[in-house]
Chain A
Amino acid sequence: AQTVTQSQPEMSVQEAETVTLSCTYDTSESDYYLFWYKQPPSRQMILVIRQEAYKQQNATENRFSVNFQKAAKSFSLKISDSQLGDAAMYFCAYRRNTGTASKLTFGTGTRLQVTL
C-alpha cells in the first residue's frame, strides 16, 4: 500500500520569505502523480501544484515549486515570497496512474503560519 509522510506538523515563515515543506512517500509503482493541496481555514481544499512521476522536470506554479526526487521518493514544496494568504494546512497527496481509480492518498498535513 502507498503511504505519504509529512514529518513537519507545523511550520512558520515570515512574509516575503521562502519556506519548504517536506513530503516523502512509499510506493512500488513507477507511474503515479503527486500533488500539494492547500486547505485554508475556510476548509475548501485547493490544488496548489502537481507532478507527474514520468516527468523529470520539477513543476512550477508562480511562487510555488517542487523538488521531486523520484529515487529518494521525496516531494517537497517551496513557497517563495510568502504571503499572508498562504497560511493554511498543506497536504501532500499521491495517486497511482493505473486502472481507473482516482483515489488520493494524503499525508497528515503541515500547518503553515505566515507572520509579519
Chain B
Amino acid sequence: KAGVTQTPRYLIKTRGQQVTLSCSPISGHRSVSWYQQTPGQGLQFLFEYFSETQRNKGNFPGRFSGRQFSNSRSEMNVSTLELGDSALYLCASSLFPQGRTGALEQYFGPGTRLTVT
C-alpha cells in the first residue's frame, strides 16, 4: 500500500506570494493533519480535516488555510508569505480521527520543504 505522498517536495517562494501544498493520504485513510516543523518552534499542529471538514485548528494566523476533497486528498494554502513561513510542512493521515485500535496511528508523509526568500 502506498504511503502518504506530498507534493511538491521542495518549493522556493518570494515574500508576499502564496503557495499551495498537496497531500494524498494512504488509501482508505480519511483523516489528514498538517504540521509545521521549524528549528525554532519545533513541530506545531496546523489543522486536521476529516470528511472534508476542518475538525481542529492550531494557533496559526488566518493566512494558513486548508481543505479536503471527497477523495480525502488535502491541500493547505499559505497566502502573503513571510520569511518565517520557511519550514518543513508535514502531512499525516489516519483512518479516522479517534478510536482505540488501529485508527490511532498517524502515518506521516516525507514533507514539503518551503523556503521563502
Whether, in the assembled complex, A60 has its beta carbon less than 8 Å from a beta carbon of chain B, the answer is: no
Whether, in the assembled complex, B71 has its beta carbon less than 8 Å from a beta carbon of chain A, the answer is: no
Task: Identify which of A46, A50, A103, A107 contacts B45 (C-beta below 8 A).
Answer: A103
How far is it, in angstroms, between the C-alpha of A99 and the C-alpha of B88 when the chains are bound? 28
Q: Which residues of A, 71-116, contact B by the 8 Å Cβ criterion?
A: 91, 95, 97, 99-109
Q: Which residues of A contact B86 (CB under 8 A)?
A: none
| Contact in complex: B48, A101 (CB < 8 Å) | yes
Interface string of A19-45 (1 = CB under 8 A from B): 000000000000001000100001111
Interchain residue pairs A-B with the least CB separation, the first 4: A45-B108, A106-B43, A101-B56, A100-B97
Q: Which residue from chain B places its CB closest to the CB of A52 in the assembled complex?
A: B100
How many residues of chain B have a CB within 8 Å of chain A?
Answer: 27
Whether, in the assembled complex, A47 has its beta carbon less than 8 Å from a beta carbon of chain B, the answer is: yes
Chain A to chain B contacts (Cβ below 8 Å), 27 pairs: A33-B104, A37-B108, A44-B108, A44-B109, A44-B110, A45-B90, A45-B92, A47-B107, A50-B104, A50-B105, A97-B98, A97-B100, A100-B50, A100-B56, A101-B55, A101-B56, A101-B97, A101-B98, A102-B31, A102-B48, A102-B55, A102-B56, A104-B35, A104-B45, A105-B45, A108-B42, A109-B42
Q: Which residues of B, 94-116, contact A by the 8 Å Cβ criterion?
A: 94, 97-98, 100, 104-111
Q: Which residues of B contact A103 (CB under 8 A)?
A: 33, 45, 48, 56, 58
- 11 additional A-B residue pairs with CB within 8 Å, beyond A37-B108, A100-B97: A43-B110, A52-B100, A91-B43, A95-B104, A100-B55, A101-B48, A101-B55, A101-B56, A103-B48, A104-B45, A106-B35
| Contact in complex: B33, A102 (CB < 8 Å) | yes
